[in-house]
């Protein structure tokens, strides 16, 4: 008789974190080179984890990097980030935006 047991598949993918994944994307795309809070990129503060988390969870950063209508595109004066890079940030937000 067949077994009724089901096997659980464990997700072994490493967690996406700000420190390991997102900060690198921001740094590589010159988003943190603004000298002060007054000169925030597209009106979005990306100077530290808490700022990036807030801007990501409120939807502003995602809209900006996706070049959504009515959003100031980021990176500024550069092409849109590739789909895989954007997905890392989206996945990070969806997973709880861990530091």
Query: Mind listing the pLDDT tens digit for each residue in 76-98?
Result: 888 999 999 999 999 999 999 99
pTM reported for the whole predicted model: 0.77
Contact 80, 73 (CB under 8 A): yes
Q: How confident is the model at residue 59, as a pLDDT? A: 93
* Domain layout of the chain by residue ranges: 23-94
Q: How confident is the model at residue 31, as a pLDDT? A: 47
Query: Mind listing the pLDDT tens digit for each residue in 36-47?
Result: 554 566 678 888
Q: Give the mean model confidence (pLDDT) for residues 47-66.
A: 93
Find, among 32, 34, 33, the residue nearest to 18 by Cα: 32
Q: Is the predicted pLDDT of residue 13 greater than 50, yes or no?
A: yes
């Amino acid at each position: 008789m067949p077994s009724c047991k089901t096997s659980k598949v464990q997700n072994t993918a490493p967690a996406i974190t700000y420190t390991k994944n997102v900060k690198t994307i921001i740094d590589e795309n010159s988003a943190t080179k603004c000298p002060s809070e007054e000169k925030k990129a597209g009106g979005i503060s990306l100077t530290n984890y808490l700022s990036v988390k807030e801007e990501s969870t409120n939807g502003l950063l995602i809209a900006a990097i996706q070049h959504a209508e009515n959003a100031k595109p980021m990176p500024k004066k550069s092409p849109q980030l590739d789909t895989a890079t954007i997905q890392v940030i989206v996945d990070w937000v969806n997973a709880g935006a861990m530091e």
